[in-house]
Structure 1
């Protein structure tokens, strides 16, 4: 998209208001970093835009879906003008419109076995925003990140809040934390929900439970939650890329719920094998089967 008349892009000036919270040298480190984002729906598009505004200039992005009207309430790149268009193209255009110097590599088929290594090539951090129901693909991406020594993070939009997990290449693995190997799909989903959100902060204000239907692969989500995900994710990506102190990796997690004004740090050694998690999974499973 051409610039408005009279304006010329300049990286240092465009991101000068970051300076103070980051140094000039740190801003250049962000400029050189490469972030991989899989899934450009509710949280993925918001992640890309937030990190582009942070000054990250290199992205590998993957998605195969197109925008539809039901995306309007929460997806950062969903506008009437983008309906029917590939999400990956719209998000790439927005990133380049923020920073015309951006190097954005597009994976239009989503993440597949055939392109996984290319998707992760040269990446400093992987940002997970895949759809909830593609758990097998998510497992493969996290497994490969660990094998390649790539830090991986996920932030789930839950109600009007977000739950965050960081998987260090040298810490507890995604598989060891969630423990879904060999289980039926409903059992895997139950364990994934329990592992992402041990505190279950949003459950108390779900006023229409019938909106959650796992058989039809649908559930409620809000734009506020997606934006909170992007803010939390962008901050942790910044800390990681700039080596700004330790990040608490799994089995530590964080859940913030803006509706209730509650912040919880969770610690689940042994992941879903922890006694509290086993009780939570037992609670969730009948809910899934009844949806």
Structure 2
């Protein structure tokens, strides 16, 4: 019951890694998360347990059976229910005092100002292929001076980039403007993970189908995303600790026991990145050929 809830007691075990004053600061912060699917739901619950007191969450989708392998709110009891409503209930079960606003139609040009109103940090959890919406949100964050984190679940690890008003911009880094959807997918993937640590253990390439907007996923990656995002969120919100900002990034792959820092000055224009994009296009074509052969 809410009457039995006490914020200071509920989050007292955070103390030591943060001070009492810092925990109070986190309680007063507001984080926007677009997408309540694979990573978004875990982001929300993790940041709620960190003691952050306010959230704006957006998603237009409902839970279905195909979400069960990775999405925090996907349960037999929630099939067919709106993701934002389910995750709001779960987050408020952690902290009944949350100041939480939902955007049940997702994020678009009409509600972007409201979605980012009063926000201290944006956490990207949009579907991989939501390129237009992602570009719009990151651009709006930059214009408002709101730091933005994207942590991609790749294989059994994560690749992380942080964009701030004094970092390289999202558009300059990825160069998605004017590209076809397949080219945007290659540029986004290679921009997130220039090291491509996950590539060597993909067991069945035919399961990657960019035209159908489908690919394999794991709960391990989603959980790792949420953990590293919470740490960068804490650093940004409290203003302490080193944060790698674009064109710096990093990828951690638990399967390969590897951590790789990446640096791509010039973003997609970097000579090494251009080589990687060329190789990525070739690999994509081979995967498409394999997929098409498997469907014949």
Q: Which residue of 1 aligns with 2:293?
A: none
Q: What are the within-5 Å matches in structure 2 for residues 150-169 of structure 1?
A: 150-169=146-165
Match of 1:217 among 213, 218, 235: 213
Return the offset for 1:245.
Answer: 2.7
Match of 2:140 among 144, 149, 162: 144
Aligned length: 287
Q: What are the within-5 Å matches in structure 2 for residues 9-158 of structure 1?
A: 9-158=5-154
Measured in 2, the distance between the counterparts of 1:245 and 1:96 equals 29
Give the match's secondary structure for 2:198.
Answer: helix
Give the match's secondary structure for 2:217.
Answer: coil
Q: Which residue of 2 aligns with 1:268?
A: 264
Moved more, 181-190 or 37-46: 181-190
Moved more, 181-190 or 68-77: 181-190
Return the offset for 1:164.
Answer: 0.3
Deviations 1:23-78 (A, max 9, x none): 00000000000000000100000000000000001000000000011100101111
4+ runs deviating over 6 angstroms: none
Kept after mapping to 2: 8 A contact 1:166/1:250? yes
Deviations 1:65-93 (A, max 9, x none): 00011100101111111111000000000
Give the match's secondary structure for 2:61.
Answer: coil
Give the match's secondary structure for 2:4.
Answer: coil
Deviations 1:257-283 (A, max 9, x none): 000000000000000111111111111
The answer to whether the aligner puts 1:246 opposite 2:239 as a matched pair is no
Give the match's secondary structure for 2:8.
Answer: helix
Measured in 2, the distance between the counterparts of 1:259 and 1:188 equals 27
Kept after mapping to 1: 8 A contact 2:182/2:211? no
Kept after mapping to 2: 8 A contact 1:186/1:285? no
Kept after mapping to 1: 8 A contact 2:139/2:170? yes
Measured in 2, the distance between the counterparts of 1:287 and 1:66 equals 33
Query: Structure 2 unaligned runs (5+)?
Result: 289-296
Kept after mapping to 2: 8 A contact 1:61/1:88? yes
Calculate the TM-score normalised by the size of structure 2.
Answer: 0.95
Match of 1:206 among 202, 208, 223: 202
Query: Structure 1 unaligned runs (5+)?
Result: none
Measured in 1, the distance between the counterparts of 2:39 and 2:283 equals 25
Measured in 2, the distance between the counterparts of 1:224 and 1:159 equals 8
**What is the alpha-carbon root mean square deviation over aligned residues?**
1.0
Q: Which residue of 2 aligns with 1:237?
A: 233
Measured in 1, the distance between the counterparts of 2:223 and 2:154 equals 11
Moved more, 176-185 or 208-217: 176-185
Kept after mapping to 2: 8 A contact 1:186/1:288? no
Give the match's secondary structure for 1:46.
Answer: helix
